[in-house]
Chains A and B, each alone.
Chain A
Amino acid sequence: MNLADYQGIWVYIEVKDGKVAPVSLELLGAGRKLADKRGTELGGVLIGSGIKELAPTLFAYGADVVYVYDDPIFAHYRTEPYMRALLHCCQKYKPEVLLYGATPTGKDLASAIATDLPTGLTADTTILDIEEDTGLLLASRPAFGGNIMATILCKKYRPQMATVRPKVMKALPPDPTRTGRIVEERIELREEEMRTKVLEVVRQTVKKARIDEADIVVAGGKGMGSKEGFQLIHELADVLGAAVGASRDVVEAGWIDHHHQVGQTGVTVTPKIYFAIGISGAIQHIVGMQNSELIIAINKDPNAPIFQSCHYGIVGDALEIVPLLIKRFKEEIPKLKASADAKEEIRHA
């Protein structure tokens, strides 16, 4: 393998419901920095059905070139056809680096590609850098349940591949005047030859605001004592118009379902306000909420590790404090709303 044959930083673009997944835009932001440092192009690989019109979005977010595989066979993500397309693209255009979102789809596809190429794949990266002169990718990731960080290198194989955690990298502000090259590609794939078929897609919309999109998340832990105690978390969230989050132990106790779990094996959230109530602050929980704008912790143990990772902390009994908070917010929030409405009226008058 001649390493110098491999050039360009690529991002696999994940498409969900006809839109570019946020993590792919974040990766274009991160990829742009790597490409500039290395003095090379940033490419996006777009696979799907009827997705060509997404290319300008990718240019706006930093891509120089977009490789497009547009075919009805790609209507639903399946490992086999997607893998064939991406392998084709890698073998033909030889990127130096290829990044994927560490989402279920991104991880599935990346693992398959790494095996077939073959090349190295770093999982769940949270820090990315590149050596300017050698092009060596420095991908760092938490391991051993977040207890340590490890920097992983892939010196002898290309492309160097990594899956990258959502919500860790930052997307660039979009520039609609940016343009780039579109490279349309095709491969011969026949539906009869595919060994898997998607029979049905079932969306289970979570009732409340989706936890990873909410401005405020009220999360509760084992410290709420019982499923009944955890009800206070729901009540506080209702008053604040917030989504409900939970620690893994709460999910495992069956107080709430897995959709609400924040952390390493749950969702990563970055709300404007995060409440951690009766949560001890295990590293696996912290990695899922540490980038929130304002973190408030309530815990009866003054030495709870959560107090190391919050902006404001209260030592005390949640079962006593939360009802007080509910009562006071119920009184104060309508006043804020009323004053906003009043201002609105003045403006209209």
Chain B
Amino acid sequence: MLHIVACIKQVPDTKVAKINPKTNTIDRASAPAILNPYDAHAVEEAVRLKKRYGGVVSVLTMGPPPAVKAIRKCIELGADEGYMISDRAFAGADTLATSYALAKALEQIAKQRPIDLIICGKMTIDGDTGQVGPGIARRLDIPPLTGVNKVVEINKEKGYAIVHRKLEDGYEVVKSTLPCLFTVEKEINDISFAPLPNMIKAARYYPTIWTANDLENVDRKQLGLKGSPTIVSKIWTPPKPKGGEMLEGTTEEKVEQLLSIVLEKKELFQS
């Protein structure tokens, strides 16, 4: 029986989000809140491993109350339990303070049911640093395995996992002791369709919610804005490029103009 915890975040859909030109922040009203797409793959992988080896999949998020919706989405995908930490004390956290709070929550979850494996997404689509996963692993002092694109084997009895880690030009096969933490690539799996019973369960699901006070041995100075070494000092929209020269004429004329522009760089074609 494996206990796998996937860490998930609710994010504004940056594909459709508009930027408020006055504040240069994301206009939340314009952007539906969705489960971070990369985290859907983390949950999917956890559920697949559960099917392969047996076990329980929990999901954990830190976020404001509406983030319950993202947990419900994970229940649809096949997660069994949902945990959420939500408190003003967590607000304004950078990646260091985020990994601290999540690690404290994971310790608390582990007291109820020991954790064998933690799975995070590659990154989020809003902060998109990719720093939280390895941060959690360091805080719990377990090996971080980033860029996992295939799980070869999990062997709980013998206490190891074997995975493929993506490299820029291939992959490496790595063996790690358990428990450990994976951050997974999107290509690791395709999201399956949610079966109806999951959808029904999800619709009525309420996760366990903890505030900062509910977490044991928490150093409040390490939470939220106070616990964050980085400060976002200025936000601006990148300047718009000025635009190129449009080639005019009939299709044939445009093609000929383009040909001469390209072939002007003759050194590229003469070797």
Interface residue ranges, A against B (CB under 8 Å): 76, 78-80, 103-104, 107-108, 110-112, 114-116, 118-124, 142-157, 195-206, 210, 215-216, 240-241, 258, 272-273, 283, 286, 290, 294-297, 307-316, 320-321, 324-325, 328-329, 332-333, 336-337, 340
Contact residue among B14, B127, B138, B180 (Cβ-Cβ distance under 8 Å from A115): B138
- Chain B residue numbers with a CB within 8 Å of A145 are 14-15, 17, 125-126, 128
Min CB gap B21→A, angstroms: 11
Contact residue among B144, B162, B166, B175 (Cβ-Cβ distance under 8 Å from A112): B144
A150-B167 contact in complex given A111-B134, A123-B131, C-beta closer than 8 Å: no
CB closest chain-B residue, reference A16: B168
Contact residue among B94, B130, B169, B244 (Cβ-Cβ distance under 8 Å from A313): B244
Decide if B168 touches A104 in the complex (CB within 8 Å): yes
Decide if A197 touches B129 in the complex (CB within 8 Å): no
* 8 residue pairs from A and B, CB less than 8 Å apart: A79-B144, A111-B95, A112-B138, A148-B26, A196-B180, A202-B173, A283-B238, A320-B251
Decide if A314 touches B246 in the complex (CB within 8 Å): yes
A153-B230 contact in complex given A108-B146, A290-B241, A296-B262, C-beta closer than 8 Å: yes
The answer for the CA separation of A119 and B167 in the assembled complex, in Å, is 27
- Chain A residue numbers with a CB within 8 Å of B231 are 152-155
Decide if A107 touches B242 in the complex (CB within 8 Å): no
- Chain B residue numbers with a CB within 8 Å of A142 are 238
Decide if A307 touches B244 in the complex (CB within 8 Å): yes
Min CB gap B106→A, angstroms: 14
A115, A120, A313 pick with most chain B CB within 10 angstroms: A115
B232, CB-defined interface residue at 8 Å? yes
A321-B255 contact in complex given A196-B145, A203-B169, C-beta closer than 8 Å: yes
B236, CB-defined interface residue at 8 Å? yes
- Chain A residue numbers with a CB within 8 Å of B261 are 294, 296, 312
Known: A79-B143, A336-B266. 15 other contacts (CB 8 A): A104-B167, A107-B131, A108-B134, A112-B138, A121-B96, A124-B128, A144-B26, A147-B14, A196-B174, A197-B174, A198-B173, A241-B269, A308-B241, A321-B254, A324-B251
Per-position contact with A for B210-235: 1 when CB-CB < 8 Å, else 0? 00000000000000000011111111
The answer for the CA separation of A286 and B145 in the assembled complex, in Å, is 30
A312-B258 contact in complex given A103-B168, A111-B131, A123-B128, C-beta closer than 8 Å: yes
Min CB gap B135→A, angstroms: 5
Size of interface on B: residues with Cβ below 8 Å to A: 79
Decide if B229 touches A154 in the complex (CB within 8 Å): yes
The answer for the CA separation of A247 and B125 in the assembled complex, in Å, is 17
- Chain A residue numbers with a CB within 8 Å of B169 are 203-206, 210
A325-B259 contact in complex given A111-B131, A313-B247, C-beta closer than 8 Å: yes
Decide if B99 touches A324 in the complex (CB within 8 Å): no
CB closest chain-A residue, reference B139: A115
The answer for the CA separation of A44 and B80 in the assembled complex, in Å, is 48
The answer for the CA separation of A205 and B169 in the assembled complex, in Å, is 6
Min CB gap B209→A, angstroms: 26
Decide if B269 touches A203 in the complex (CB within 8 Å): no
The answer for the CA separation of A283 and B14 in the assembled complex, in Å, is 11
A121-B131 contact in complex given A147-B19, A314-B258, A333-B269, C-beta closer than 8 Å: yes
Min CB gap B261→A, angstroms: 6
B263, CB-defined interface residue at 8 Å? yes
Min CB gap B36→A, angstroms: 12
- Chain B residue numbers with a CB within 8 Å of A197 are 174-176
Min CB gap B143→A, angstroms: 5
- Chain A residue numbers with a CB within 8 Å of B187 are 258
Contact residue among B143, B234, B240, B270 (Cβ-Cβ distance under 8 Å from A336): B270
Decide if B254 touches A328 in the complex (CB within 8 Å): no
B129, B228, B236 pick with most chain A CB within 10 angstroms: B129
